[in-house]
Amino acid sequence: MFYRIDTKSPTPLYEQLIFQIKELYIQGILEPGEKLPSIRELSSVILVNPNTVSKAYQELERQGIIYTERGRGTFLTDNTALLEKAPERMEIKNQLRELVLRSRRCGIAKSELLHWVETASEEVQS
């Protein structure tokens, strides 16, 4: 199984799950239309409470990445928007890693980087 969770990370478990499922989808390990593991199944695999998995699935549904059929399970949509953006996502991720590296050499705290991302996001939004 390729689902994994880090309980020591500051990122909430349900967000880790969201990011990971997106990543698996982008990498082609999960395919459009494919059935995801049931909430109970996944929760027992990654040793996390079913509610936590449910929260992740609901957020993914809100984002249009997955949909649920009542009584049958949860499936990936045919939404290919994510797939198309995959290369640029990768690039952004890499450049971000580089910036983090340089920040460390400058003595810039992680919290300050996070704050800059926050403020930049607000600016961009308006």
Partner DNA sequence: GTGGTCTAGACCACA
Q: Which residues of the shown chain bind a copy of itself in the complex (CB under 8 A)?
A: 7-12, 15-16, 19, 22, 67, 69-70, 72, 81-82, 85, 88-89, 92-93, 95-97, 99-104, 106-108, 110-125
Binds DNA (CB under 7 A): choice among 8, 62, 72, 102: 72
Q: Which is nearer to DNA, 68 or 103 (CB)?
A: 68
Confirm if 39 and 21 have CB atoms less than 8 A apart: no
Q: Cα(63)–Cα(100) distance, rounded to whole angstroms?
A: 28
Residue 113 binds to DNA (criterion: CB under 7 A): no
Residue located via tokens 């459009």: 32
The 3-state DSSP composition of the chain as helix, strand, coil percent (nearest 5) reads 60, 5, 35
Other CB atoms within 10 Å distance of the CB of residue 116: 13
Residue 62 binds to DNA (criterion: CB under 7 A): no
**Which pair of tokens denotes residue 126?**
């308006």
Residue 50 binds to DNA (criterion: CB under 7 A): yes
Binds DNA (CB under 7 A): choice among 40, 85, 104, 110: 40
